[in-house]
Amino acid sequence: MKMIQSLLIALIPATIAALWFFRLNALILISVSIVFAVGAEVLWQLAAKLPIRIRDLSAVSTGLLFGLTLGPSLPWYLAALGASLSIVAGKAIWGGFGKNIFNPALFGRFIIVVLFPGAMAPFLTPVDAVAAATPLQIFRAEGVVTPILNLFTGNVSGCIGETSVMALALGFAWLVYKGHANWRIPLAAFISVTILSLLAGHNPLFHLFSGSLMLGALFMATDPVTSPNQNAGRWIFGAAIGLIIMVFRFWSPFPEGTMFAILGMNMLVPIINAHTKANKISKESENK
């Protein structure tokens, strides 16, 4: 499908950035994730006697997105397990592509994080691969803000695909240009993150550019399958994701909450949809 092709093309800059900064670690994690995601899809479809549909590239996109969310020092077999679970538990058992409630890549990552807490750590510095805290961990422990320019280019420690804001934004701009992106969702998330960080007296750019907010808001919250189908709902969905992320960053024991925010809001999508029917319909109901 064109939509998935466009998504894959849009992820090219982020993938290049991941390979550039995290070298062999990134190469292994990304390729293992894609191979196992596609393999799991084939095996599932064979076992369930379904037509083999790997040519629609949806398994490739899930595998790639999953790979980009991983910490650079995660063992390859956990990446393999997570990628397979993304496909099987995140997508196939719901009825396949289009019927899942949760974003499959994030669902797989969630399972790995819960089953193997700490497996993503230690985070590594780019290129030299020395253990180092992520900008959000540093900020939490010492109150030091990483230079914004480093955050923008991605020259910081973190998960392999999340660090380079520049690469992610470039890819997303292309998606918007192709008309396949729900730009309202990330915009709403950015607005709520900005407002909340200003209220807390933090630099909003630091919060916007650090952690997995950019990757999550641009490429995971916008998954059409697991996001609201009306513009009004998209604003609500995005704003709530931004809110939950900031709640996690301020008060939770975790440094980061993008994954929880998106998965949690995925659950609420049917409710949001039910309350944001198309304009015409709501107009009519008002008149009654």
Contact residues for another protein, defined by CB under 8 A:
1-3, 56, 95-99, 224-225, 227, 229-231, 277-281, 283-284, 287
Residue 56 beta carbon to another protein: minimum distance, rounded to whole angstroms:
8
Q: With respect to another protein, which residue has the nearer C-beta, 161 or 233? A: 233
Residue 214 beta carbon to another protein: minimum distance, rounded to whole angstroms:
22
Residue 281 beta carbon to another protein: minimum distance, rounded to whole angstroms:
5
Q: With respect to another protein, which residue has the nearer C-beta, 46 or 284? A: 284
Q: With respect to another protein, which residue has the nearer C-beta, 142 or 287? A: 287
Residue 60 beta carbon to another protein: minimum distance, rounded to whole angstroms:
15
Q: With respect to another protein, which residue has the nearer C-beta, 131 or 281? A: 281
Residue 37 beta carbon to another protein: minimum distance, rounded to whole angstroms:
17
Q: With respect to another protein, which residue has the nearer C-beta, 65 or 81? A: 65
Got the DSSP string for the chain? -HHHHHHHHHTHHHHHHHHHHHHHHHHHHHHHHHHHHHHHHHHHHHHTTPPP-GGG-HHHHHHHHHHHTS-TT--HHHHHHHHHHHHHTTTGGGTSTTT-SS-HHHHHHHHHHHHSTTSSPSPB-TTT--B---HHHHHHHH-PPPPHHHHHHT-SSS-TTTS-HHHHHHHHHHHHHHT---THHHHHHHHHHHHHHHHTT--HHHHHHSTTHHHIIIIITT-GGGS-SSHHHHHHHHHHHHHHHHHHHHHSSSS--HHHHHHHHHHHHHHHHHHS--HHHHHHHHH-
